[in-house]
Amino acid sequence: MFDRLGRTPARRELGNMSYAAIRIFKSWNNAISAVGLAPNRSHDHRMYKRSKTKANDGHLCDSISESIIDNWLYKNKIKHSRNVSYPDTNHLADWGIDNNKTFIEYFGLAKDSPRYDRSIKEKIKICKKHKIKLIDIYPKDLYKTSNFINKLRFLKSSKRQ
């Protein structure tokens, strides 16, 4: 799995196989460490331990999850910009496409803090006000590949470059 992904797999990506590893090693991170890989951050602590990563196109991303999305956009030849300003605010969108008529946001910290959740609501309102299409991606979408692909499928069919 590591060879295919190019990173440490998340427990949820392995489905039932992860349960066997947890039974044997007492935790997913123990199992990952036993095979010589670096454990992913736990859900409870992800807000405090960011790991900057570089996507295949050279974009700096705030997390492995963001780099997965950026790499998908790059692989599918979808022209995109990182950290695009929302109109009339200090908010930044993770990606802008289609001359910033569409924003893609990875809301990886949703439900981790009230402040972050308020920011999500503000961004949604700004997009509605300015008629910007918002593609919102959450961890549950990203780690169930079919959800992730379905949210971005229309981009692939139009091949923006």
Mean pLDDT, range 124-138, rounded to an integer: 96
Whether 46 is covered by a domain: the verdict is no
Give the CATH number for residue 141: 3.40.960
Confidence of residue 10 (pLDDT cuts 50, 70, 90): confident
| The pairing of beta strand 92-97 with beta strand 102-106 | antiparallel
Helix, strand, or coil (residue 131): coil
- Tens of pLDDT along 60-117? 998 888 999 999 999 999 999 999 999 999 999 999 999 999 999 999 888 877 888 9
Q: Which two tokens stand for residue 53?
A: 């990563």
- 84 and 118 together in one domain: yes
- 74 and 101 together in one domain: yes
Number of domains the chain contains: 2
Cβ(51)–Cβ(63) under 8 Å? yes
Residue 6 scores a pLDDT above 80: no
- Tens of pLDDT along 26-60? 887 788 888 887 776 554 444 444 578 899 999 99
- 90 and 122 together in one domain: yes
Mean pLDDT, range 139-144, rounded to an integer: 81
**pLDDT reported for residue 64:** 87
**pLDDT reported for residue 21:** 82
- 16 and 85 together in one domain: no
Give the global pTM.
0.68
Helix, strand, or coil (residue 135): strand
CA distances to 16, 23, 46, 52, 58 from 112, rounded to whole Å, are: 26, 27, 9, 19, 29
**CA distance linking residue 103 with residue 135, whole number of Å:** 6
- 57 and 36 together in one domain: no
**Distance from the first to the final alpha carbon of the chain:** 31
**pLDDT reported for residue 125:** 97
Give the torsion through C-alpha atoms of 27, 2, 9, 150, to 10 deg.
-160
